[in-house]
Chains A and B, each alone.
Chain A
Amino acid sequence: MERHDAIVIGAGLNGLVAAAYMARAGFDVLVLDRASAPGGVSAAHEIAPGFRLPRYTLGSGGLPPRIAADLGLAEHGLRFIRAEGGVSIFPDGSYHASYRDGAVHRREIARFSRRDADAFTHYRRDMLRAARGLAPLLSGPARVRAKGLFAGLRARLSFADRIASIAPDDLNDMLRLWALPMSEYLDTYFESDAVKAHLASAALIGGTLGPCSPTGASRLVGPWLSETGGAMGGAPDTLMPYGGPAALVDALTGVLDANGGRLRLEAEVTDILSKDAKVRGVVLANGEEIGADAILSGLDVKRSFLSLFRWKDLPEGLVERVGRVRMKGVAAKVNIALDAIPEFPYLPEGCPSLGGGLRLTGHIPAMERAFSDWRDRMPPRDPLIDVLIPSLVDPSLAPPGKHVLSALVQFVPETLHEGAWSDDRRDALRDLVTARLAEVSPGIETRILACEVLLPDDIENEIGLTGGDLAYGETTLDQMFMNRPFPGHGGASTPLRNFYLCSPSAHPGPLVMGGSGANAAAEVIAALGGRR
């Protein structure tokens, strides 16, 4: 039987990050993917010849510089583009842009409220303080299992002491951030509805909470987590890999290759061989068996356990625990090829923020309505649409003069209360999105060369992501940190020996791109005894 040090199931971004880390540490790594090209949700996709964009995700966001540096991705041709933080356009045609430069951003806010321009300084301080507090938690497992008698108790007591040593006012600030709904939290800083809506809409994308759901405020920290968040005194910027996420995948496979790792495509894993809660190998669809000291799954937590194992091989209660993990589709993806540059008459000419994305959103009550509709499983009436035209900052993605447009439609239910999505409903959604786009960019509808709509269900069917949940599990706080993938199990290791999760179903999840892969690799390397 063929044997490797480690097998990674799924050549998605996190799987490749994990494999690259292990390969660089000298491990003999095999990556298996059932598709004919690597990348998973980030795989290269041509919507029309020459128009490239990620099929399922928006495509913004880059690996943390730490991971890029660790893996030497720059040597494999990876470059990042830094774009401004994006623009929100409201139904009345007004807009709010983000700028990296503090003075410029404050001037932008002052258009809505001079008071809020000052309040932003305060807000930015609190966001960055929270982000810095969170940073150490995001690399490494959320919960370190203590060894030795009373070690756990000692750790818990010192945790209590650490909390007690925080100044009461700071402690209260922290609690507020973790307990409050986004809308209430923003109310304590800002008076302008536009300013609040701009910040809230950015934080809502990809989550299953509404702007008025308790604990939602913590999502506001997300954009500030990047290591350069707001470094210039303004809003955090958007990082994008040059060439789109596909370039990231290319660089990662390059690293894997250069370090002796192997990538095997069209190799679907159908079973994992395990005995006494310990895994030892995988079985491919063609019946071939491959053994390994460690197996890392880049699939979501439900598929990893419920479809790769025979349930009777799993420790008691695990099936139920996995079953309880909530994965819900919350967004649809619309991909559009444009034969000319779209014009945005409401925005000032040359507004650089457009490069960082465009959100079509109402104020907070409208977002709450959209969220309510989603909870009631209604087809979206007035969804929050997050648009990225990556070819504005990266012309390599489309033929000269032409553009690709990626839209994530937030608050689209997986199934409707009336049943599955019908073709009419799907067409209605496409028309709604193009109509909303045409409102802010008149004439865009005449420039569409190709357009595809992917509902959560399509995403599940095509790549097997449960529920079409691009976050690999709801990101509410009871499913984050030490509760990700499931309560009390924050990290990549699982109740099965030698079996690890390297998908965003494990800590830190979608908070850090590639973070779950990097954490999983670190755990495996530590468990298998360092460098080989």
Chain B
Amino acid sequence: MTPDTAPRKEEPTEPNRADIDPQDEQAPVDPALFEEKPAAPPFERTVLTTPLHLVTSLESRTNRWTDWNGYTVPEVLTGLEDEYRALRGAAALMDVSPLVKYRIAGRDALAFLQRLVTRDIENLGVHRAVHVVLCESRGLVLGDGLLFRLGDDEYRLVTEETHLAWLMDSTEGFRVRIEDVSATLGTLSLQGPLSAFVLMHAGIGDIASLAPSAARWVTIAGMPVYLSRTGASGDLGYELWSDAEDAPHVWRWLVECGGPLGLRAAGFSLRELARLEAGLPRAGTDYLSAFAAIDARDALPPAAIWASPVIDLDKGVFNGRVALRRRADEPPARRIVSLAIEGLEPLRFSALSLEGRIVGTATSTGFSPALGTNIAIAVIDSEVAAAGALLAAAERRDGLSVRETLASVRVLAGPARSHPRRLAVPAPLRP
């Protein structure tokens, strides 16, 4: 090979897996079909942006950006307090396109998913969504996500982290196809008490009738949008899924219609604060996938992460069943809890101690304007979850000096905030 004749820019050749019709029973099943070209190598690419980058950057008054799953997204657009007020008092609109989205289709899609997740999804109706947990064979959590049923044999799994290796390893014996459609979909999250009202103003009829976790196809600004009543805010909220090219138009239209009603565009920080208040642990932050946990203690069973995870041991074979059945009565050694940490100003916390011994770690922290106190999601030793004398350590910087403070901690029984409106049917149009 001489350098002149060598191909300068090699693209790893993916065999041409010509479009296999997932409904075609005769088609050879090949799960590895991606719609996206292999990404450019690191150090040759510029900023990786979401389909909504241009419209969100127009809203940015702070020029504060952050990294979410490799995408550059706004951290704060105007101001966190301002955005928070909109979220809890009216509505907030956020770009959540960096979420990982898999399309799972084929004759055996249902059977494949039944084996993949811990809950029984046999009765999941078309245009319905449900929270699912993925475990490995030792009954430890790999991740969680929202599973939508888009059609008879077509599903969409939305997760925080990627799970492609696991999904593809699990396809043997199933006629199913997995596609990573993350980059082809723009996703907007519209949350807050007035979110239904905003959608009504945006021209969507009969929005109130859409039940929690239900979805339907609608037209917004002339664009087809898959609208679901889902979201991670602990309040009424919707998520809108559309083609990447359509998403900016949908965004603009919602901002235009919702602006007069108090809608604000918001950044990633607000999403984090909202889920923190709603007590929703985030994969990779509050808990680690069992495949990423170097220290075996960091790999947790579902019961350690969610207060009442849905595990249907009798639905048939699923990943983790044998192990979960074995430890069904065994309380986990560590668990994830929501905490309120006393203090009137935002502080960052990590170590949680009891009588001088570190018994846990605050994995997400934030200042909840609603409660007027710091809150956190933390992983702590189970036996101290009931103890009262927990202390959280924080550093308080003052110029060049630093002072360590200890604040007392209260373990919350449930999420810091969860409004009944979230599940109300019909959805309230006015606060």
Residues of A within 8 A of B (CB): 91-94, 97, 99, 103-104, 107-108, 110-119, 121-122, 124-125, 128-129, 132, 167, 169-170, 192, 194, 345-346, 348-352, 438-440, 442
Encoded as 1 (CB less than 8 Å from any A CB) or 0, chain B from 157 to 199 comes to: 0000011111010000000000010000000000000000000
Q: Given A108-B42, A194-B12, do A442 and B3 touch, yes or no (CB 8 Å)?
A: yes
Chain A residues lying within 8 Å of B180, measured Cβ to Cβ, are: 114
Is B138 on the interface with A (CB-CB < 8 A)?
yes
A-B contact pairs, 16 of them (CB 8 A): A93-B6, A97-B42, A108-B41, A110-B39, A111-B38, A112-B38, A114-B164, A114-B180, A115-B32, A115-B168, A125-B291, A125-B294, A167-B138, A169-B138, A439-B3, A440-B3
Nearest-CB residue, chain B, relative to A112: B12
A348 touches B8 (CB 8 A): no
For the complex of A and B, the 3 pairs showing the least CB-CB separation, nearest first, are A118-B165, A122-B291, A119-B165
Instruction: Please measure, in the bound complex, the distance between the C-alpha atom of A194 and the C-alpha atom of B292, giving whole angstroms.
Output: 23
* Known contacts A114-B180, A116-B165: A93-B42 contact under CB 8 Å: no
Indicate if the CB atoms of A122 and B165 lie closer than 8 Å.
yes
B328 at the interface (CB under 8 A from A): no
Bound-state CA distance A117–B165 (Å) is 8
A416 CB, nearest partner CB in chain B, Å: 27
**Chain A residues with CB below 8 A from B41, complex form:** 97, 107-108, 111, 348
- Cα distance, A132 to B165, chains bound together (Å): 25
**Once bound together, how far apart are the Cα atoms of A271 and B67, in whole Å?**
65
**Minimum CB–CB distance for B10 against chain A, Å:** 4
Residues of B within 8 A of A99 (CB): 42
Could you tell me if B163 and A111 are in contact, using CB atoms closer than 8 angstroms?
A: no
Chain B residue contacts of A116, Cβ below 8 A? 165
Return A76 CB to nearest CB of chain B, in Å: 31
Interface residues of B (CB under 8 A from A): 1-3, 6-8, 10, 12, 32, 34, 38-44, 67, 70, 137-138, 162-166, 168, 180, 289, 291-294, 296
Q: Which single member of A97, A118, A129 contacts B163 (CB below 8 Å)?
A: A118
Q: Which of B10, B39, B137, B289 contacts A92 (CB 8 A)?
A: B10
Closest to B40 in A: A111
In the complex, the chain B residue whose C-beta lies closest to that of A102 is: B292
Given contacts A93-B8, A125-B294, A345-B8, contact A118 B3 (CB under 8 A): no
Chain B contacts of A97 at CB under 8 A? 41-42
Q: Tell me the complex Cα distance, A359–B59, Å.
A: 47
| Minimum Cβ distance to chain B for residue A62 (Å) | 22
- Establish whether residues B166 and A114, one from each chain, have CB atoms under 8 Å apart when the complex forms: no
Instruction: Select B43's contact among A94, A115, A350, A442, beta carbons within 8 Å.
Output: A350
Nearest Cβ on chain A to B403's Cβ, whole angstroms: 29
CB distance from B36 to the nearest CB of A (A): 9
Partner of A107, one of B7, B39, B166: B39
Known interface pairs A94-B12, A121-B289. Does A104 touch B6 (Cβ–Cβ under 8 Å)? no
Question: A107-B70, A115-B168, A439-B1 given as contacts; is B10 within 8 A of A121 (CB)?
Answer: no
B1 contacts A91, C-beta separation under 8 Å: yes
Given A91-B1, A125-B294, the answer on whether A104 and B12 have CB atoms closer than 8 Å is no
Instruction: Tell me the complex Cα distance, A127–B164, Å.
Output: 20
Chain A residues within 8 Å of B291, by CB? 121-122, 125
Q: Which residues of B contact A119 (CB under 8 A)?
A: 165
Question: Shortest CB–CB separation between residue B287 and chain A, in angstroms?
Answer: 14
For A125, give its contact among B42, B67, B166, B293 (CB under 8 Å). B293
B162 engages A118 (CB within 8 Å):
yes
Indicate whether A118 sits within 8 Å of B164 (C-beta atoms), given known contacts A91-B1, A110-B38: yes
Main SS of chain A's interface residues? Answer: helix
In angstroms, Cα B289 to Cα A349, docked, is 35
With contacts A345-B3, A348-B43 known, is A117 near B10, CB below 8 A?
A: no
Knowing that A114-B180, A169-B138, A439-B6 are A-B contacts, what are 18 other residue pairs whose CB atoms are under 8 Å apart, sorted by A's residue number? A91-B1, A93-B1, A93-B7, A93-B10, A94-B12, A97-B41, A111-B12, A111-B39, A112-B12, A117-B164, A118-B163, A118-B166, A119-B165, A121-B289, A121-B291, A125-B292, A170-B296, A345-B8
User: Is A107's CB under 8 angstroms from B42's CB?
Assistant: yes
User: A436 → chain B, closest Cβ, in Å?
Assistant: 10
Which B residues are CB-close (under 8 A) to A192?
Answer: 12
In the assembled complex, the CB of B49 is this many whole angstroms from the nearest CB of chain A, namely 15
Tell me the smallest distance from the CB of B60 to a CB of chain A, in Å.
23
Interfacial chain B residues near A112, Cβ < 8 Å: 12, 38
Per the bound structure, the CA–CA distance linking A229 and B165 in Å amounts to 23
Query: Hey, which chain A residues are within 8 Å of B44, CB to CB?
Result: 348
Chain A residues positioned under 8 Å from B168 (CB to CB): 115
- Which A residues are in CB contact (< 8 Å) with B294? 125, 128-129, 132
A117 to B41, CA, bound (A): 13
In the complex, residue of chain A having the shortest beta-carbon distance to the beta carbon of B3:
A442
* Cβ A169 vs Cβ B3 within 8 A: no
**Bound-complex Cα distance A121 to B291 (A):** 7
The residue of chain A having its C-beta at the shortest distance from the C-beta of B298 within the complex is: A125
Of all chain A residues, the one with the shortest Cβ separation from B166 is: A118
Bound-state CA distance A401–B88 (Å) is 61
Contacting pair B43 A351 (CB below 8 A): yes
Residues of B within 8 A of A117 (CB): 162, 164
Question: Which residues of A have CB within 8 Å of B166?
Answer: 118
Interchain CA distance A116-B12 in the complex, whole Å: 13
Distance of A108 Cα from B39 Cα, bound (Å): 9
CA distance A121 to B294 in the complex (A): 10
Contact of B34 among A104, A114, A169, A346 (CB under 8 A): A114
Interface contact A115-B164, CB-CB below 8 Å: yes
Shortest CB–CB separation between residue A187 and chain B, in angstroms?
A: 12
Report the nearest A residue to B44, measured CB to CB: A348
Q: Measured between alpha carbons, how far is A144 from B135 in the docked complex, in Å?
A: 41
B292 in complex: contacting residue of A121, A169, A170, A442, CB < 8 Å: A121
Using Cβ atoms and an 8 Å threshold, which residues of chain B touch A94? 10, 12
Q: How far is the CA of A129 from the CA of B297 in the complex (A)?
A: 12
CB pair A349–B164 under 8 Å, yes or no, is no
* Complex-state Cα separation, A439 to B6, whole angstroms: 9
In whole angstroms, what is the CA distance A18 to B204 when docked? 79
A117 CA / B296 CA spacing, docked (Å): 21
Report Cα–Cα, A111/B10, bound state, in Å.
Answer: 10
Q: How far is the CB of A89 from chain B (nearest CB, A)?
A: 11
B43 touches A349 (CB 8 A): yes
Query: What CA separation (Å) do A125 and B296 show in the bound complex?
Result: 10
Please name all residues of chain B whose beta carbon is closer than 8 Å to the beta carbon of A92 when the two chains form the complex.
Answer: 1, 6-7, 10
